[in-house]
Structure 1
């Protein structure tokens, strides 16, 4: 996480600060450039989603979205993940 934050900070997309009342806590906030980049990426993500979903019957949208969230590791509720992930192939 710290490496990712450092990379984003070097690109001037985020700013890290220390909480003045608790020096152990670090805060990360988007810079103006970061907000602009985020808005641009969000628009592109919406367009990709629209393209993917237009090929599906509307009844399949919820299932497709669940698969995409699974692939991305994004879950609104940790309890949504009721199936164990597949085993990793042996090296």
Structure 2
């Protein structure tokens, strides 16, 4: 089984242009450990979180945060998404 990864991107603004409110402390201390606990048994091997502060020219980036989920194989994502309890994360 070949490893796989998937990305989740959180935009810096809503479709109407309002800035989004993103709680990085909650995301790292509560949300992502819950994701690992819930999806780990289904093949989630780990994750990497990147926070974007600005563009190269000092402007506002289109995304605030990216999370790359690292899976044990192609079928793991489907198993995790179909697992009970995934609505908690």
Taking structure 1 as the reference length, what is the TM-score of the superposition? Answer: 0.30
Q: Which has the higher helix share?
A: 1
Q: Which has the higher strand share?
A: 2
- The structure, 1 or 2, with the larger RCO (C-alpha pairs under 8 Å, 6+ apart) is 2
Bigger radius of gyration, 1 or 2? 1
Taking structure 2 as the reference length, what is the TM-score of the superposition? Answer: 0.30
